[in-house]
Structure 1
Amino acid sequence: MSPLRVTVWNEGVHESTQDPAGMSEYYPEGIHGAIAEGVREQIPDATVRTALLSDAEHGLPEPVLEDTDVLLWWGHKAHGQVCDEVVDRVQRHVLSGMGLLVLHSGHFSKIFTRLLGTTCSLSWRNAAERELVWTVDPTHPIAEGVPSPLVIPEQETYGEFFDIPAPDELVFISSFSGGEVFRSGVTFRRGKGRLFYFSPGDERYPVYNRPEIRRVLANGIRWAARPGVDRAAPSVSNPPRDWYLGEG
């Protein structure tokens, strides 16, 4: 089997503004750099590239998406700056079989809200509270080798209600020291594509440096990848009658 082809997309706004202060200390190569490093660490034979909002066509022209088995998407401040033409392109590739991992504040990204068809709103606070990520489906491939609970000492708090459709699979639920609970790891299928949303990963905390988090993302990539699938988008067809109708 050919090595998996992974693209890590990040809007790159926090990095360019150094917001918050000190972010460059724990993400010296940006959030995308830390995520890409984790993918290379966990899936050594993967081909990994990164792309940014500021790149031409946001770093996601047709040839890049054609050469991507799984796209990881991190965004926060600049959802509205993502060109609709690029969103159309990403959606087409997801429906054609490209995997998509949407991370943290990417729940408000154009691609995620479009594919899910809801507001994807939630409740939140940011008080550097402890997050416990509980595995609720230990048989799922994304949960393989992940401790339950996965402990994140400091993290932004997300809470219900999370306005998403009923997920195909609920893999992780988080609880926070402030009392909130949140569906933090969920999967969906759209067309031929597989989607995994995973919430831990605020820019204020070095969450993507944690080996347990890197294991979750690597598992998610392996689950979402469909390298052998025919990447033609589902469409209306009018096939000719065949032998099963007793003709010919």
Structure 2
Amino acid sequence: MSLRITVWNEGVHEARQHPSGIDEYYPDGIHGAIAEALRAHIPTASVRTAMLSDPEHGLPESVLADTDVLLWWAHLAHGEVSDEVVSRVQRHVLGGMGLLVLHSGHFSKIFTRLLGTTCSLSWRNAAEREVVWTVDPTHPITEGVPNPLVIPEQETYGEFFDIPVPDELIFISSFTGGEVFRSGCTFHRGRGRIFYFSPGDESYPVYNQPEIQRVLTNGVHWAAQPGIERAIPQVSNPERDWYLT
């Protein structure tokens, strides 16, 4: 069964041309670059893009019902995302849709709602080197990913990262300034699988790196559950003494 992938980007940086270099690195937007990479790595997949400015943010019920994995990139406009759309996405994740939250999407409404914490962190944007270390080489998301994965220039993220203890910690990053960060981790919510991956600032061509594209591709394959019945797990109360029959 071919995968159905939706790449969501708020698109604010592209619309405001800030930073100015985003046109050079991502002429079709960050969502366009990610979608193009996924089409190249998963040629049988159906890949669509959606943006904040689209009707219903490009995520009506029909699109989410037709999505195995949703990738979410956002930065400046978290508060502009409709609560109705967030609730719709949450329902689909709980029912089994995969979710990849990228970079500053850690502050998105959907991520903070699903994790139940502030998801805040320390940061500094000084074009420093990031070294991404694999800490779980048995995990399928790490397949074919070099250890370490070096990003020449990137925004610095650092601990403390206010998230629940991850179900699986896959990558940690170290930076030129000495910070360390849990840069790749997974969570399960309901029937859905969530992968957070921090590398990918709008100021640098991180998503053009083949190694980063490989991580995203692996993450999509891990999070996808094609054919799963999209239903939130329900709690039932059986009749008493059923075990005695």
TM-score by length of 2: 0.97
Which residue identity lines up with residue 24 of structure 2 in the other structure?
E
2:221 corresponds to: 222
- Secondary structure, in 3 states, of the residue corresponding to 1:64? helix
Q: Can you list the C-alpha shifts for 1:208-236, whole angstroms capped at 9, x where unaligned? A: 01100000000000000011322111223
Runs of 4 or more, structure 1, over 6 Å off, are none
1:170 corresponds to: 169
1:99 corresponds to: 98
Please give the alpha-carbon distance, in whole angstroms, between the structure 2 residues aligned to 1:18 and 1:81: 19
- Secondary structure, in 3 states, of the residue corresponding to 2:199? coil
Could you tell me which runs of 5 or more consecutive residues in structure 1 were left unpaired when the two chains were aligned: none
2:236 corresponds to: 237
- What pairs with 1:79-158 in structure 2 (closer than 5 Å)? 79-158=78-157
Which residue identity lines up with residue 14 of structure 2 in the other structure?
E
- Secondary structure, in 3 states, of the residue corresponding to 1:41? helix
Which residue identity lines up with residue 41 of structure 2 in the other structure?
Q
Q: CA deviation at 1:237?
A: 3.4
- Secondary structure, in 3 states, of the residue corresponding to 1:202? coil
1:77 aligns with 2:76: yes
Which residue identity lines up with residue 106 of structure 2 in the other structure?
H
Q: CA deviation at 1:202?
A: 0.3
Please give the alpha-carbon distance, in whole angstroms, between the structure 2 residues aligned to 1:44 and 1:132: 29
Please give the alpha-carbon distance, in whole angstroms, between the structure 2 residues aligned to 1:61 and 1:236: 27
- Secondary structure, in 3 states, of the residue corresponding to 1:33? helix
Please give the alpha-carbon distance, in whole angstroms, between the structure 2 residues aligned to 1:106 and 1:19: 17
TM-score by length of 1: 0.96
Q: CA deviation at 1:244?
A: 7.4
1:40 corresponds to: 39
2:13 corresponds to: 14
- Secondary structure, in 3 states, of the residue corresponding to 1:151? strand
Provide the identity percentage. 80
Please give the alpha-carbon distance, in whole angstroms, between the structure 2 residues aligned to 1:141 and 1:239: 38
Please give the alpha-carbon distance, in whole angstroms, between the structure 2 residues aligned to 1:187 and 1:22: 31
1:52 corresponds to: 51
Which residue identity lines up with residue 16 of structure 1 in the other structure?
A
Q: CA deviation at 1:22?
A: 2.0
RMSD value, Cα = 1.3
Please give the alpha-carbon distance, in whole angstroms, between the structure 2 residues aligned to 1:124 and 1:73: 20
Could you tell me which runs of 5 or more consecutive residues in structure 2 were left unpaired when the two chains were aligned: none
Please give the alpha-carbon distance, in whole angstroms, between the structure 2 residues aligned to 1:153 and 1:41: 24
Q: Can you list the C-alpha shifts for 1:5-35, whole angstroms capped at 9, x where unaligned? A: 0000000000000000121111000000000
Please give the alpha-carbon distance, in whole angstroms, between the structure 2 residues aligned to 1:145 and 1:204: 26
Q: Can you list the C-alpha shifts for 1:162-187, whole angstroms capped at 9, x where unaligned? A: 00000000000000011100000000
Which residue identity lines up with residue 206 of structure 1 in the other structure?
P
Please give the alpha-carbon distance, in whole angstroms, between the structure 1 residues aligned to 2:149 and 2:112: 27
1:204 aligns with 2:210: no
Which residue identity lines up with residue 112 of structure 1 in the other structure?
F
Q: CA deviation at 1:239?
A: 6.4
- Secondary structure, in 3 states, of the residue corresponding to 1:186? strand
Q: Can you list the C-alpha shifts for 1:176-213, whole angstroms capped at 9, x where unaligned? A: 01110000000000000000000000000010011000
Which residue identity lines up with residue 133 of structure 1 in the other structure?
V
- Secondary structure, in 3 states, of the residue corresponding to 1:146? coil
